[in-house]
Amino acid sequence: MSLTQPPSPETDTDLIIRSYRIEDQPAVSRLYTDGLLSGQIAPNDTGADVDNVLEAYFDHDRHHFWVCELEGGVVGMIGVGSDERDTAEIRRLRVEPRLQDTDIAQQLAETAVGHCKKHGFLKVRLDTRYKGDAVFELFSRLGFKHNRTKTLNEKDLHEFYLDLYGE
């Protein structure tokens, strides 16, 4: 799978990355459930933030949640949260399976990293259970370093970080 190819020219003009709206909830829940069913989400992940996006991601101006809309439907999502003053966490990066060979994940991640820079975070972290060179290539292109891989519940969890010092 390649995450480097852009959407086709006829769909690219219809691609919009925008802030979450309450009417996006069914699509966001579906993307979360699809990740859960494909084994990309830990079994003990309650998804409480996905069920309460407004409370989880709009409680502070440094937190945010975006969706990617294509042809009028939500096809991707990403969030930024933080439990620490200087470190942000990119959460819930998901793209519909039929569009995972496009650059939608990269566009969502670039949006989130730009938000982190704008709001003065010094470090960004993320983790993923997704396997494959395409994921490592995507995060590497954005400047992330692979920190470690640990096994939880018999699945590998890959942790990445991005230093924003001086940016």
What domains are there in the chain, each with its CATH number?
Answer: 12-125 (3.40.630.30)
Helix ranges (H only) for the chain are: 9-12, 25-37, 48-51, 53-57, 104-118, 133-141
Quick one: pLDDT at residue 101?
85
Query: What average pLDDT is seen over the chain?
Result: 85
CA–CA separation, 101 and 8 (whole Å): 11
Which residue, 97, 161, 151, is CA-closest to 127? 161
Is 11's pLDDT higher than 80?
no
* HSE, side-chain direction, 13 A CA sphere, residue 95: 22
Provide φ and ψ at 48, rounded to 5°. Answer: -60, -35
Quick one: pLDDT at residue 81?
94
Is residue 103 a contact partner of residue 4, using CB atoms and an 8 Å limit?
yes
The pTM of the full predicted model, rounded to 2 decimals, is 0.85
Is 111's pLDDT higher than 60?
yes
Is 72's pLDDT higher than 80?
yes
Quick one: pLDDT at residue 8?
46
Higher-confidence position of 40 and 164 = 164
